[in-house]
Chains A and B, each alone.
Chain A
């Protein structure tokens, strides 16, 4: 089988993935025992930094270019149901772990003084959220994955409800949770169906129930094409809602506008839904993925155009970023469902790119909002003169949104276009339109907000970025340029697993057909 495992014990000597989940939780619990609020901040930051360092150590120890699951851990949990605590990362998931850790550090730094009440609880919620997200990225047992997936809602709900910045935050919190639950219910059914199929196929004739929710085990079990299609739509629905993939994106503007900056950063930066597609849906259901490829590709293409067009008429920066995000998720979906090496790698690079660029811009939007009380366009004008540093960072990150050469956005878009092109030239030609539109909405906003005369008195007294914000923005820009100019290391890391996945999708059709008979 192409997806082998290397256990953490052999590779690094300690269960690093478990540690990565435990550290944020432990830090969050620790915060409860700290009286002094300032000290609590520093404690939260140190916890997040330790996590980041550990995540980077993991990436450094990662063996690139192979399709193995690495740093794996497996402990039997509920053996009658075939559920085990099974963790591991491969080229597809490994980069998202340090990204999550990076975003957490970012969130803690920018909300250093911005949180006005229940400071400790806030930081605890952020760290708890981090733990669940890392759990989602590293779990290889679908059941464990689902637990983390649902646990994620708890800190998100409180972050939205308690520290939201909009007047409708209560409602936004509820809306978010309801949407997510509606999405995850079919997902659970899909997961259960996978387990039952394993029982029926692999355990046929066995007296005792023979379930399994283990990703690697399920890969080896043939699934009949009709069932694949059913599960494809069940899982796909859940991931599409989370994505957010058009037309399930309507929860996003509310959550971003009403929620705190922290939530916004996580929501625009971590595209868990798209990750779900490439992690579980495509490998487990290759036949259905190939069959419904056109649906996904066209949805992605449409989303990329639709999001960009809506973004063009947004006077509010955070709304603009929301729809830009919808547009880019569409492009990433297009790349992933090209089901070839270039497209899939492009999709992953695009997700990583979004992980840096969108939060970076969101932070700048949040800091503008914190200073001027608004992120609406009509409150600005001539910002470049007043806040040159902010304007510079904004420009650089904006270039990555457009996907200009030299930025991470270009690397992603280039590969996605190549992948789409191999699928069908017309796809690439339409996708190009989305890129032009992205240039239009971004440059138009930039010109109106940052150039021209200063008309608002509030703008005249805007302070530029403080060192804390500069550090965050600069770190983001470094990553953007690194992936833009020298993406080779990132592509090496993702390459092996993607190659195996492409091989699986292309090679699976005859065998799967055969097994269904």
Chain B
């Protein structure tokens, strides 16, 4: 059932208009943030209004303009799109609240630019989610790179600029070098840019070319941070915490994963994908990524860097799920888009909270912080458990589906990768949890902090949770991570529609 509706356009327009209003209201911070929230709520409302139609088996279509005779900027909303869009949009609103706390307490510069760029990022994210064809997706994929650039370089320091340069080089370089040729090759082979549920290629297509094409797509999706195109992600961690949490745990990285899902499901189609043995190849790449990221994370002391490498590994779980030749495995990959987003954003929020309260970024210096920041580290623990995959958290659902899927398909190697990486992630996350709860508390720390800041009075304040704006979003996302673990059907109803 195809419904013609301009709703996907309005979901984008809400964020875009939000960006304009943010610039207009730049002189009044409270009004400016109200604009952000208003845009986020409007966007989420539009997205949620599309859910029932999609659950009833429909897809929404909208053509904005025709670009070339056979190519148009067009949108199509299906379950996969909604899964990605709703997650990103909901977490945008949560992040705005968190940002209000973080950016003001941290006295960040250029806050207007920050909020406007985030709104533009969400515009581009919606464009990717709702793209009806490869062309539209590419358009917004590039827009996403540029709208996030000012966020990565927000600090304006040399380190931030260097990270920004790497960020642009990885994303622009791979998308022009691999994604654009892949799109043109797809068009040459199939005569269409559109996404089609059973794939676009006819039976007689040259298999070698198709295999090359798939790897072009895979390399073009550097946002998914698969090895060897992962190095931008840890570098981008110089960005302020809200940026890392929303973009590098949710919008940007999910956009890369989403692209790969679209390519597998709607360009190649699952049947052709498995016929060409691309599933195994993808699983190998994803497994290598998971193992490397996990081992690397073991020895990291910087909390944000650890989260970054953990993200690389978790994204590879989603790809791993996509590569499995049965619906159970793919369900695991898809549901992990949502589960990982909520879990990882909780961890980033907590890292930001620790930074604000104690100015600490290194795990080894966080000994005993748990007594001073119970909410923060409580949330952190929940997030950690979810990433490790311990019930009743959301991450467990993912691991469950992935494990069953890998056994069903007989890919036992994948199963062992899951097992080992789970142990490794338990090792590096629980190390943090142990340090903060069971380490000896920092005796002299308040004094040191006061001296650093040049504010002797700060030493007199006991370290504690800094602001409800920080704590509330964190608890909300942690709570949802548990709810999704207890009631996975909330997401599964949508995931099932993907395989309808």
Task: List residues of A (399-448) whose CB comes within 8 Å of B's CBs.
Answer: 399, 402, 404-406, 411, 414-415, 417-418, 421-422, 425, 428-429, 432-433, 435-436, 439, 443, 447
**B203 contacts the other chain (CB 8 A):** no
Q: Name A488's contact: one of B67, B172, B187, B188 (CB within 8 Å).
A: B67
Asked if B184 is at the interface (CB within 8 A of a chain A CB), the reply is: yes
A404 contact set on B, CB distance < 8 A: 142, 146
A248 proximal to B (CB < 8 A): no
A451 interface hit (Cβ, 8 Å) = yes
Asked whether, in the complex, the Cβ of B177 is within 8 Å of the Cβ of A488, the reply is no
Contact of A415 among B68, B73, B142 (CB under 8 A): B68
How far, in angstroms, from A399 to B147 measured CA to CA in the complex?
13
B180 close to A417 (CB less than 8 A): yes
Of chain A, the residue at the smallest CB distance from B172 is A439
Q: How far is the CA of A385 from the CA of B138 in the complex (A)?
A: 31
Contacting B165 at CB < 8 Å: which of A418, A447, A486, A487?
A: A447
Bound complex: CA of A173 vs CA of B161, how far in Å?
43
Q: Does A491 contact B (CB under 8 A)?
A: yes
Whether B143 contacts A406 by the Cβ 8 Å rule is yes
In the complex, chain A residues whose CB is within 8 Å of the CB of B202: none
Q: A432, B177: Cβ atoms under 8 Å?
A: yes
Contact B176 A405 (CB under 8 A): no
When distances are taken between beta carbons in the complex, the residues of chain A under 8 Å from B188 are 418, 421-422
Chain B residues with CB under 8 A of A405? 138-139, 142-143
B185 beta carbon closer than 8 Å to chain A: yes
Nearest-neighbour CB distance to chain B for A443, whole angstroms, equals: 6
Tell me whether A39 is interfacial, beta carbon within 8 Å: no
- Across the interface, A439 reaches (CB within 8 A) one of B68, B143, B176, namely B176
Residue contact A487 to B176, C-beta cutoff 8 Å? no
* Residues of chain B within 8 A of A447, CB atoms compared: 161, 165
In the complex the two chains form, what is the Cα distance from A416 to B350 in whole Å? 49
Contact for A421 among B65, B67, B168, B184, CB less than 8 A: B184
Chain B positions 176-232 with a Cβ under 8 Å from a chain A Cβ? 176-177, 180-181, 184-185, 187-188
- In whole angstroms, how far apart are the Cα atoms of A428 and B186 in the complex? 13
A447 and B173 CA atoms in complex are apart in Å by 17
User: With a CB–CB cut-off of 8 A, which chain B residues contact A428?
Assistant: 181, 184
Query: Quick one: given A404-B142, A406-B143, are A432 and B69 in contact (CB under 8 Å)?
Result: no
Q: A405-B143, A488-B67, A488-B68 are in contact. Are A425 and B176 (CB under 8 A)?
A: no
The interface residues of chain B lying within 8 Å CB-to-CB of A425 are: 185
User: Which B residues are CB-close (under 8 A) to A436?
Assistant: 172-173, 176-177
> In the complex, A417 Cα to B178 Cα: how many Å?
13
Please, how many residues of chain B have a CB less than 8 angstroms from a CB on the other chain? 24
Chain B residue with the shortest CB-CB distance to A439? B172
Which of A405, A439, A452, A488 gathers the greatest number of chain B CB atoms within 10 Å?
A405
In the complex, are the beta carbons of B185 and A421 less than 8 A apart?
A: yes
Q: Mark B417-456, 1 if CB is under 8 A from A, else 0.
A: 0000000000000000000000000000000000000000
Query: What's the least CB distance linking B204 to chain A, in Å?
Result: 18
How far, in angstroms, from A399 to B139 measured CA to CA in the complex?
13
Across the two chains, which residue of chain A brings its CB closest to B209? A425
Interface residue from B139, B168, B181, B187 paired with A429 (Cβ < 8 Å): B181
Q: Does A485 belong to the interface (CB within 8 Å)?
A: yes
Task: Give B140's nearest chain A residue, CB to CB.
Answer: A405
Segment 130-152 of B: residues with Cβ below 8 Å from A? 138-139, 142-143, 146
Give CA–CA (A39, B158) in the complex, Å: 52
B161 touches A432 (CB 8 A): no
CB of B66 within 8 A of chain A?
Answer: yes
CA distance A429 to B142 in the complex (A): 19
A435 interface neighbour in B143, B165, B176, B185, Cβ under 8 Å: B176
Partner of B66, one of A417, A443, A452, A488: A488
Q: Is the Cβ of A432 less than 8 Å from the Cβ of B180?
A: yes
Cβ–Cβ contact B142 & A487, under 8 A: no
Cα distance A241–B246 in the bound complex, in angstroms: 53
A64 to B165, CA, bound (A): 44
Minimum CB–CB distance from A237 to chain B (whole Å) comes to 33
Contacts of B165 in A (CB 8 A): 447
Q: How far is the CA of A418 from the CA of B187 in the complex (A)?
A: 9
Measured between beta carbons, the chain B residues less than 8 angstroms from A487 are 67-68
The answer for the CA separation of A421 and B138 in the assembled complex, in Å, is 18
* Assembled-state Cα–Cα distance A433/B89 (Å): 36
| Given known A415-B68, A421-B184, A486-B65, contact A432–B176 (CB-CB < 8 A) | yes
Separation in Å of the A394 CB from the closest CB of chain B? 14
Q: When the two chains form their complex, are residues A486 and B67 in contact, meaning their CB atoms are under 8 A apart?
A: yes
CA distance A222 to B185 in the complex (A): 37
Q: How far is the CA of A405 from the CA of B144 in the complex (A)?
A: 11
Known contacts A439-B176, A447-B165, A417 near B181 by CB under 8 Å: yes
- B124: shortest Cβ distance to chain A, in Å? 11
Q: Which residues of B contact A399 (CB under 8 A)?
A: 146
A contact residues around B184 at 8 Å (CB): 414, 417-418, 421, 428
Chain A stretch 438-476: residues in CB contact (< 8 A) with chain B = 439, 443, 447, 451-452
- When chains A and B are docked, how far (Å) is the Cα of A452 from the Cα of B158? 9
Contact partners of A414 in chain B: CB under 8 A? 68, 180, 184
| B172 with A491: CB separation less than 8 A | no
Smallest beta-carbon distance A348→chain B, Å: 13
A421–B216 alpha-carbon span in the complex (Å): 15
A479 and B68 CA atoms in complex are apart in Å by 17
B391 to chain A, nearest CB (A): 44
As a 0/1 sequence over residues 154 to 181 of chain B, the CB contacts with chain A under 8 angstroms (1 = contact) are 0000000100010010001100110011
Query: Shortest Cβ distance from A58 into chain B, in angstroms?
Result: 24
Q: How far is the CB of B188 from chain A (nearest CB, A)?
A: 6
How many angstroms from the CA of A402 to the CA of B176 in the assembled complex?
Answer: 10
Q: Do A485 and B65 touch (CB < 8 A)? A: yes
Report the separation of the CA atoms of residues A219 and B146 in the bound assembly, to the nearest whole angstrom: 48
Complex: A451 Cα to B165 Cα, angstroms: 12
Contacts of B172 in A (CB 8 A): 402, 436, 439, 443
A469 shortest CB reach to chain B, Å: 22
Bound Cα distance from A436 to B177, whole angstroms: 7
Contact call A432/B138, Cβ cutoff below 8 A: no
* Chain A residue nearest in CB terms to B136: A405
Tell me, in angstroms, the Cα distance from A480 to B345 when the chains sit together: 39
Which residues, 293 to 324 on A, are CB-close (under 8 Å) to B? none
Which residues B60-76 have CB closer than 8 A to chain A? 65-69, 73
- Give CA–CA (A274, B474) in the complex, Å: 60
| A433 and B142 contacting across the interface, CB-CB below 8 Å | no
Which residue from chain B places its CB closest to the CB of A492 in the assembled complex? Answer: B69
A414 to B69 CA separation, bound complex (whole angstroms): 13
Interface string of A354-373 (1 = CB under 8 A from B): 00000000000000000000
Chain A residues 375-412 with CB under 8 Å of chain B are: 399, 402, 404-406, 411
Other contacts beyond A399-B146, A402-B172: 5, CB < 8 A:
A411-B68, A421-B184, A485-B65, A487-B67, A491-B68
State the 3 A-B residue pairs at the shortest beta-carbon distance, nearest first. Answer: A405-B139, A405-B142, A436-B176
B contacts, CB < 8 Å to A: 65-69, 73, 138-139, 142-143, 146, 161, 165, 168, 172-173, 176-177, 180-181, 184-185, 187-188
16 contacts between A and B (CB under 8 A): A404-B142, A411-B68, A414-B184, A417-B184, A418-B184, A418-B187, A421-B184, A432-B180, A436-B173, A439-B168, A443-B168, A447-B161, A447-B165, A486-B67, A488-B69, A491-B68
